[in-house]
Amino acid sequence: MSMVDILLMHHLLKAIRPGTRLVLTGDVDQLPSVGAGNVLKDIISSGVINTVKLTEVSDRLKKALLLSMRTGSTEGKCRR
């Protein structure tokens, strides 16, 4: 969701039926969209919707990240 621009969000909202629950996930600290707008950041900043901010990384995710980094390093693909 972090890199969604205004045009893509417009099409998404037009495509869903009234009454549909839309759950958006993303990271406002990621790079913004290449196209126009900073949709996720603007939606969160508006204060119109409820938001939840994750503040800690679970042990499961830590293990997955470590495995990903280890696999990448053995294949010569170091992620930063």
Q: pLDDT tens digits for 13-65?
A: 999 999 999 888 888 777 777 888 888 888 888 999 888 887 777 787 777 77
> Given this model, what pLDDT does residue 11 score?
95
Cα separation, 20 vs 26, whole angstroms: 19
* Cβ(16)–Cβ(9) below 8 Å: no
Q: Which structure tokens are listed for 31?
A: 């790079």
